[in-house]
Amino acid sequence: MTTSNTYSFSPSLGEITLYAFNLVGIRSSAILQEHMESARMGANLVLADFSNKGVNLWQVALVSTPLVANQATYNVDPNVVVILDAYIETVSSGGQAIDRLILPVSRTEFASYPNKQQTGFPTTYWNDRTLSPTVTLWPVPDGNQTSFNYYVLRQIQDAGFTNGQNVDIPYLWLKAFAYALACELAAIWSPEKLVYLTPIADKSYVAAATTNVETAQQYISPMVSSYFRP
């Protein structure tokens, strides 16, 4: 059997857009500037939709913020969609870094804390998800902690046509993106095509999302200690 022995298939946004227009019924030779303008907008809206639907593992990153004594609130990059896991790092007397997981709280729970300036080892955080997002730790760091580390889901990079740019997605998501873009374009240029494009787009998204999970063991153990109390 003869195969290519390559793994370099990585079409540019322009190539995917031509394919999406073909799915809509518009031949490549008939594409005008106005078609491309709608394609650029549609591509970026599709990427925003992908971020809304779940955790895209290829966009997960670790952020480390140095802690300052008596400072509770820290800026969060606006391209962060959501904070996933967070922990506080301290350094032992022997120079060993020690991490301790902390948990998120809602605005309502944070508002219920009577002394928001209480200092100590932070055990919770509130992510204020505004246009200029912040994260507030409680208790307020007392200076014995080194850094606040947290995993985030980042926004997918903008899609553009300049210099043969690729889309900021992995190989397994190419079909899902192409058909989702085709649906965006069909809504403008060929509404009648949505009837058969939408089910394929949905199926392609589910197929990609099914592989977009961490392969780790999960254990569930019941709490049975109370059954045996004397």
> pLDDT tens across 72-100, in order?
999 999 999 999 999 999 988 788 889 99
Per-residue model confidence as pLDDT tens digits over 38-65: 999 999 999 999 999 989 999 999 999 9
Average pLDDT, the chain: 93
Report residue 181 as tokens: 């873009």
Residue 151, beta-bridge partner list: 62, 85
Give the domain ranges of the chain: 13-55+157-209, 57-154
Nearest to 61 by CA among 127, 151, 135, 134: 151
